[in-house]
Structure 1
Amino acid sequence: MNNNTSNTKSHILQLGLWLLFFIIKTVSKCSNGCDLAFASYYVTPGSNLTYISNIFSQSIPLILKYNPQITRGDTIESGTRINVPFSCLCLNGDFLGHTFKYQTQVGDTYRKIARQVFANLTNEYWVQRVNVIEPALIPDFAFINVTVNCTCGNRHVSKDYGLFVTYPLRFGEDLWSLSTESDVPTILLERFNPETNFSAGSGLVFVPAKGKTTFQLT
């Protein structure tokens, strides 16, 4: 083998390794998560702390720790929201989220699980994406994955916020009402959520939480 052929193969190998490294760096969209994030759970009639504790696998005392407004034991007023703590992880190097294990009930569909059980903290597409069961073949009382997206902040927007709430917008809510409720300036909400249409009344928004990074999971 002459030197030219050897050099050519060496260059091809180096190019291949560089391309592989570039692909890995491009596909990997996150590297680290954070110990604590919140899910803003919209309470519907019939829901209570025991039910919410079960679907999120979080203890009632831990949930109460971050919801001092709850003063009546297991009862929660419907039409309100509570913050459910969870860890925000880098899943498969692709996105930030947390996968919960949910036991299906009679009549469950991916759409129902996303909209009703998890109160729009995820959607039908995401639930189906992280499960191998066909939508028409979901068995009763089987454990499936339910992934909720989250964020740990964006230092390019602000270094002052490291604790965030995954907040499903509801009909009638918009940028201004969310700013008033969360006490976060509209400009910050827009910068942390650059692709969000706040006037749509649906979809997920990441809202900086009060207390920043002072909370820790126990």
Structure 2
Amino acid sequence: MILLLKRTLELGFCVLLFLCIRAEAYCRRGCDLAIASYYVWEGSNLTYISNIFSKPIPEILPYNPDIRNSDNIQAGTRVNVPFSCDCLNGDFLGHTFTYIFQFGDTYGKVAETAFANLTTEDWVQKVNHYPSTRIPDYVPINVTVNCSCGNEHVSMAYGLFATYPLRPGENLSSIAAAAGVSAELVQKYNLEMDFSQGSGIVFVPARGW
């Protein structure tokens, strides 16, 4: 009888633990502000980035104090683009942008070029109903970018985060130094990420302006 009671209590605890872990995997609310760290590729400019995110240039510039001339931004640098981080369907944090599909585009090109690897080809395909080989030109498609509002179990001091696509040659130390925070803190927010792989998306504490 005692053994049966013990096993029942253990089972109840396991079920409760499972429910708690599962609940943490979902979101309850988003946050008003997140940052997309947009890698400027050759041929892109601030007007293009503004159009992609439907964000006026005057609303982007305050988050980029290093930009001296909005008509001339250097390829290979990054532009911080503010956006709202929403709780989508109660499942995860992200923001869904609308993109007009152009002639010659593919889901992969939209993810890798237009949105500068802030999302992935698979993720873009999942949030659209068009088959990847039969997407009409000039139709609106959904592009979802993941974001973060922080993690109270890591630190209560940070509430603004950048969605940051890793580039070849970057590593944990360089990203932390650029953000002005410790490498240990950045790693805690991205526990399963190998920063040396040169690809993938991480969340980095960002400064508020």
Q: What interval of TM-score do these two structures reach, taking the shorter chain for normalisation? A: 0.7 to 0.9
* Distance across 1 between alignment mates of 2:72 and 2:149: 31
Equivalent position SS for 1:135: coil
How big is the shift at 1:28?
Answer: 6.7
Percentage of pairs with the same residue: 61
Q: Which residue does 1:19 correspond to in 2?
A: none
Name which of 179, 184, 189 aligns with 2:186.
189
Partner of 1:177: 174
CA distance in 2 between counterparts of 1:138 and 1:69 reads 39
- Identify which of 55, 61, 66 aligns with 1:64: 61
The aligned amino acid for 2:198 is: G
Q: Are 1:28 and 1:93, in contact at CA under 8 Å, matched by a contact in 2? A: no
How far has the Cα of 1:138 moved from its partner?
1.1
Match of 1:154, SS state, is coil
Counterparts of 2:25 and 2:165, CA distance in 1: 26
Q: In the alignment, what sits opposite 1:54?
A: 51
Which runs of 5 or more structure 1 residues have no equivalent in the other structure? Answer: 1-21
| In 1, Cα distance between equivalents of 2:174 and 2:147 | 21
> Which whole-Å deviations, capped at 9, do the CAs of 1:64-89 have from their partners, x for residues lacking one?
11112111232211100010000000
Q: Which runs of 5+ in 2 are unaligned?
A: 1-18
**1:179, distance to aligned residue in structure 2 (A):** 1.3
How many pairs were matched up?
190
Alignment correspondent of 1:132: 129
Structure 2 equivalent of residue 210 of structure 1: 207
Query: Aligned equivalents of 1:27 and 1:127: distance in 2?
Result: 24
Residue of structure 2 aligned with 1:122, choices 119, 138, 141? 119
Rounded to whole Å, the distance in 1 between the matches of 2:194 and 2:40 is 24
> Is the Cα contact below 8 Å between 1:127 and 1:145 reproduced in 2?
yes
Distance 2:153 2:23 in 1: 19
Matched with 1:41 is 38
Letter in 2 for 1:194: L
For residues 116 and 104 of structure 1, the distance between their equivalents in structure 2, rounded to whole angstroms, comes to 13
Aligned counterparts of 1:160 and 1:68: Cα–Cα separation in 2: 23
Taking a change above 3 Å as real, the CA distance of residues 179 and 96 of structure 1, as seen in their structure-2 partners, is same
2:148 corresponds to: 151
Residue 127 of structure 1 aligns to a residue whose secondary structure is helix
* CA distance in structure 2 between the partners assigned to 1:28 and 1:153 by the alignment: 14
CA contact (8 A) 1:27 1:94 kept: no
- Tell me which structure has the larger Cα radius of gyration: 1
Q: Is 1:142 equivalent to 2:168 in the alignment? A: no
Query: CA shift at 1:195, angstroms?
Result: 1.5
RMSD: 1.5
Deviates more, 1:60-69 or 1:118-127: 60-69
3-state secondary structure, aligned to 2:202? strand
TM-score under structure 1 length normalisation: 0.84
